Structure 1
Amino acid sequence: MSESKKTCADRVRAAFEQAPTEGLSYAGLYEKLAADGMDTDKAKDGINSTLRYLVARGYLLRTGEREDARFRRSGAAMTRPRLTESQRAERTKAKNRRRVERARAARGATVGLRAAMIPKPVRAAPTATPVFETYEEYRKRGGRVEYLPASWNSVNR
């Protein structure tokens, strides 16, 4: 395997294969990986994640806690867990459900953004309502109506 194609997990496993009987602490593992040409500062999260995975799979045994932890090979081979058909179907359903939920959430966010871009309608300032009164009301109030003569109307009131 070429050096450029090695993943973080490949390099961690290779470090433990070089020292099968001795255990490595965090510091010892980081030294081996740095000597192998790996930038351990950038890959710190990947290394820790790989160690947790290898311990969970039974490839490594861990003794001690936190800084005092030491890891050594258990002698078990790295095996991939095989899923039954029902487990695979359940995993596929869960994955599809998450995909649909992400798509629905993205659509909802898009609709919300579009709605925010639509300008709000300008509300007109309230205007004073004109006061109306009928002819009879005006006359009762004492108003006088002046009749203008028209050519077809010869009678003045």
Structure 2
Amino acid sequence: MSESKKTCADQVRAAFDQAPAEGLSYAGLYEKLAADGMDTGKAKDRINSSLRYLVARGYLLRTGEREHAMFRRSGTAMARPRLTESQRAERTKAKNRRRVERARAARGVTVGLRAAMIPKPVRAAPTAQPVFETFEQWKARGGKVERLTAAWERPG
């Protein structure tokens, strides 16, 4: 079974072209597309997106809300906006600029994450510095020296 080369929007437009005078509801459109071989279960979001786009471009008119909405052709052709070379170049520059900014921002996030993974150096609590005094100062404070006898000086 070969896949159709038509996009979802092309298939939606073709469904409305087959019945230009009548309006189609969501259910009617899904039935028509299913009859043409489209898997409407998988393509539901794309179909709804195509409908919103076609209404916004003025190709379709919508009446009603939610499940009671009816769509019909407005009679105007599907016009695509044509850009001049300068407009196209400006759009390309803006697109590239946004792409570079996104990449730079992503790198910044990565660097930040890596920096967060580096352990911080542990700082030891400041210890009390020992107070040094000389032997003479200790003796002057009243320190007494004990003399222990060595093993060879002990009797017997």
Pairwise same-fold verdict (TM > 0.5): yes
The reply on whether 1:68 has 2:68 as its aligned counterpart is yes
Counterpart of 1:99 in structure 2: which amino acid? R
Corresponding position of 1:30 = 30
Letter in 1 for 2:16: F
Secondary structure of the corresponding residue to residue 98 of structure 2:
helix
C-alpha deviation, 1:119, in angstroms: 2.9
Aligned-partner residue type, residue 51 of structure 1: L
Paired residues, what number?
A: 145
Match of 1:42 in 2: 42
Q: Which residue pairs with 1:108 in the alignment?
A: 108
Q: Secondary structure at the match of 1:102?
A: helix
Please say which of residues 90-99 and 48-57 is displaced more in the overlay: 90-99
Between the aligned residues of both structures, percent identity stands at 88
Give the match's secondary structure for 1:99.
Answer: helix
TM-score by length of 1: 0.76
Cα deviations across residues 86-126 of structure 1 (Å, max 9, x unaligned)? 64455344423422321122111110221133233344466
Q: Structure 2: state its 5+ residue gaps.
A: 147-156
**Unpaired runs of at least 5, structure 1:** 147-157
Amino acid at match of 1:98: R
Q: What SS does structure 2 have at the residue aligned with 1:61?
A: strand
Provide the C-alpha distance between the structure 2 equivalents of 1:144 and 1:3, rounded to a whole number of angstroms: 105
Q: CA RMSD in A?
A: 2.6
* CA distance in structure 2 between the partners assigned to 1:109 and 1:6 by the alignment: 40
Provide the rounded CA distance (Å) in 1 between the counterparts of 2:85 and 2:7. Answer: 30
Structure 1 counterpart SS, 2:4: helix
Q: What is residue 8 of structure 1 aligned with on the other side? A: 8
The equivalent residue for 1:150 is none
